[in-house]
Amino acid sequence: MYNMTSIRVYADKIYALWLREVKVFFREKSRLVASTFTPLLWLFVIGSGFSSSTSVATHLDYQKFIFPGIICMSVVFSSVFFGSYIIWDRKFDFLKSVMVAPVSRSTIFTGKTFGGMTNSLIQVSILLVVGLIIGVQFSPLALIQTVVIVLLLSFALTSLGLTLGSYMTSLEGFQMIISFVVFPLFFLSGALFPIDKLPQWLSILTTVDPVTYAVDALRNIILGIGSHSLGLDLIILLLYSCVLGALGTYSFKRMKAV
Amino acid sequence: MIRINNLTKRYEKLTAVDNLSLNIEQSEVFGLLGINGAGKTTVIHMLSTLLKPTSGSATVNGFDIQKEPEKVRSSIGIVFQVPSSDDLLTGYENLQIHAMLYGVDPDMREKRIKDALELVGLTERKDDQVKKYSGGMRRRLEIARGLIHSPKVLFLDEPTLGLDPSSRETMWKYIQQLVKQEKLTIILTTHYMEEADMLCNRIGIMDKGKIIALDTPTNLKLMLGGDIVKLKLKKQDSDISILKDLQCVKKIELLDGYVILGVDDAKKNIPEILKHVEAESVESSSPTLSDVFLKLTGKNIKEQAEGGFMERYVQYDKH
């Protein structure tokens, strides 16, 4: 059954869904500017401000230390927001017009996550250039590894956002996601502090947070320091991606169209 | 083209669609007419596989809506009540993306998009973002989008809702052109009676989830006893009993010194009537679907009032 034509048609459908997301991403100027500006604010204000007063248990200056964390922050924000943006698609009926097309729900889900991953990657690219400016060095291998980690984290969190968005019907839910999902994911990840010597209650929470492993992986890759091995970080991120991806696909299948 | 058998959609307390059975033939322009909440949109949503029926079944283009939803979706185009194109994309991009989603052959894509844009008169504005479009243009883009994959059936859910009168007329023009050019089966929902009258071959009047009348617009209007002719006689006491014997005259009533007649095809028969009585003035008016609708769905009181005949007259008198 899977001849070349049907594969091409399937690829076209994914491409169409992806293309729409990327075009919208570049045209929503305010969203683009805001989501690029926030991580920079953290990097320069928090990074510089704490550099003078905090003694992080490393020989690095604080700004460089949080750089991997800020990359992950940008991915957390862009991915979860992107996913939950389907509430808008739903509100403006665009989603309905996609669901009435001969496109399966899992295809819609895949197209959407590809869109989310692309968005994250574009934002991270901007941050990597900023990193070069503040003196963070990377090898070509490190760059490839960074991209892989970013894509994995973005896939997992876009799936999470899409899952949450598929269950929500009102825009008020958006605020809940920011307070109860986005901020905890970011703050508990150890993006801003080393996770080795935390009180136990906090340590448990950071262990459950998938972002922790992305931050740790990027610290391994970019700064050569980390609490876990890169391999372990990668395996856990893969596991989270599978679970959240499956959850998202399931949620999409049971989502009501009208 | 569409077969509906005992289709029912029940929500907790409300039965939105109640045991609906209906056949719609190929190339028919079928109108579902009813007030808001009559169940028209629910029917469309079920037929387009967006909503699961509580019970009953239906096929569209030979495919079962529950067993073969993707084949149904490939066969249909749909224009929703609320325009659903992406504001940030251009008209062209919206069509391009939907052509891909519907698996339109890449070699055919550009031509289909070009033709669709032309049909709805948006060729010149194709590279503008949809947010710059007027309400009427958005609707037309939706129609173009609904046609991009050459569907067998096109659903139009309230295609002119919220449009100003001139945009509405433009829209009608485009829909009529569409009917002429493409051999499509169209199902249209509306609560504008003139719209149904002007566009549809056959109309189902829906009320509380049921179809309460199903016929051509002409036959539906005939249900009311034909046109109304209002005569003012030269001599008040003229003998009008002869009119009763005319075949075309269905009803005679007297009101405020006027003679009100129910007449088949008034335009043709007025000269005949005037041969028998001397009139100072003659006025005639045709019943509209509004009258039919009022009669069928209006409260029972109206139905009891002798088919609403006099009421209709009083209504016309106000205009």
Across the interface, whether the CB atoms of A93 and B50 are under 8 A apart is answered no
> Of the ranges A171-175, A230-234, B269-273, which is most confident?
A230-234
Residue A69 DSSP SS3: helix
> Of the ranges A48-57, A59-68, B21-30, B241-250, which is most confident?
B21-30
Task: Give the mean model confidence (pLDDT) for residues B134-150.
Answer: 92
State the pLDDT confidence band at A256, using cuts at 50, 70 and 90.
Answer: confident
8-state DSSP, A179:
I
Q: What is the pLDDT of residues A163-204, one digit of tens each?
A: 999 998 887 888 888 889 999 999 999 898 888 888 999 999
State the pLDDT confidence band at B312, using cuts at 50, 70 and 90.
Answer: very low
**Domains in chain A: boundaries:** 4-254
Q: B260 is written with which tokens?
A: 């009100």
Q: Nearest by CB to B89, from A13, A15, A20: name it.
A: A20
Q: What is the CATH number of domain B2-216?
A: 3.40.50.300
Residue A220 or residue A176, greater confidence: A220
Across the interface, whether the CB atoms of B74 and A102 are under 8 A apart is answered yes
> Alpha helix locations (H) across chain A?
4-27, 29-41, 47-51, 62-84, 86-91, 94-99, 105-133, 140-167, 173-177, 183-187, 200-208, 210-218, 230-254
Q: How far apart are CA A159 and CA A153, in angstroms?
A: 10
Across the interface, whether the CB atoms of A102 and B88 are under 8 A apart is answered no
Percent above pLDDT 70 for chain A: 96
Amino acid, single-letter form, for residue A128: L
Question: What does the pLDDT read at residue B244?
Answer: 79
Task: Give the mean model confidence (pLDDT) for residues A58-71.
Answer: 85
Q: How far apart are CA B60 and CA A69, in angstroms?
A: 54
Q: Which residues contact A204 (CB under 8 A, 6 or more apart)?
A: none
Q: What is the pLDDT of residues B67-116, one digit of tens each?
A: 999 999 999 999 998 888 999 999 999 999 999 999 999 999 999 999 99
Residue B142 or residue B83, greater confidence: B142
Distances (CA, A) of B46 to A25, A77, A258: 33, 37, 10
How close A130 comes to chain B (CA, Å)?
29
Q: How far apart are CA B188 and CA B75, in angstroms?
A: 16
**pTM across the whole model:** 0.85
Searching chain B, which residue's CA lies closest to the CA of residue A93?
B84
- How many beta-carbon pairs under 8 angstroms link A with B? 75
Residues from chain A that touch B106, judged by Cβ atoms under 8 A, are 12
- What's the whole-number average pLDDT of chain A? 90
How close B70 comes to chain A (CA, Å)?
5
Interface test with A, best of B49, B73, B101 (most A CBs within 10 A): B101
Q: What is the pLDDT of residues B11-31, one digit of tens each?
A: 988 899 999 999 999 989 999
Q: What is the pLDDT of residues B273-298, one digit of tens each?
A: 888 888 888 888 877 777 777 777 76
Question: What does the pLDDT read at residue B201?
Answer: 93
The CA-based dihedral angle spanning residues B112, B113, B114, B117, taken in that order and rounded to the nearest 10 degrees: 120
Reported ipTM? 0.89
Q: Nearest by CB to B98, from A15, A92, A101: name it.
A: A101
Q: What is the pLDDT of residues B163-187, one digit of tens each?
A: 888 888 888 888 888 888 878 999 9
Q: Nearest by CB to B84, from A19, A20, A93: name it.
A: A93
Q: Of A217, A247, A212, A240, whose CA–CA distance to A156 is shortest?
A: A240
Residue keyed to tokens 């209906």: B22
Residue A98, chain B, CB below 8 Å: the answer is yes
**CATH class of domain segment(s) B223-318:** alpha beta
Percent above pLDDT 90 for chain B: 48
Residue B98, chain A, CB below 8 Å: the answer is yes
Q: How far apart are CA B74 and CA B93, in angstroms?
A: 20
Q: In whole angstroms, what separates CA A39 from the centre of its chain?
A: 13
B185-190 and B29-33 as β-strands: parallel, antiparallel, unpaired? Answer: parallel
Question: What does the pLDDT read at residue B153?
Answer: 95
Angle (CA) A23-A26-A29 rounded to 5° is 135
Q: Of A179, A239, A177, A247, whose CA–CA distance to A214 is shortest?
A: A239
Q: Nearest by CB to B88, from A12, A17, A28: name it.
A: A28
Residue B61, chain A, CB below 8 Å: the answer is no
Name which of A230-244, B65-79, B231-245, B290-304 the model is least confident about.
Answer: B290-304
Task: Give the mean model confidence (pLDDT) for residues A80-105.
Answer: 90
Q: A145 is written with which tokens?
A: 């590894």
Q: Is the pLDDT of residue B306 over 90?
A: no
Residue B85, chain A, CB below 8 Å: the answer is yes
The CA-based dihedral angle spanning residues B13, A105, B91, B178, taken in that order and rounded to the nearest 10 degrees: -60
Question: What does the pLDDT read at residue A56?
Answer: 57
Q: Is the pLDDT of residue B134 over 80?
A: yes
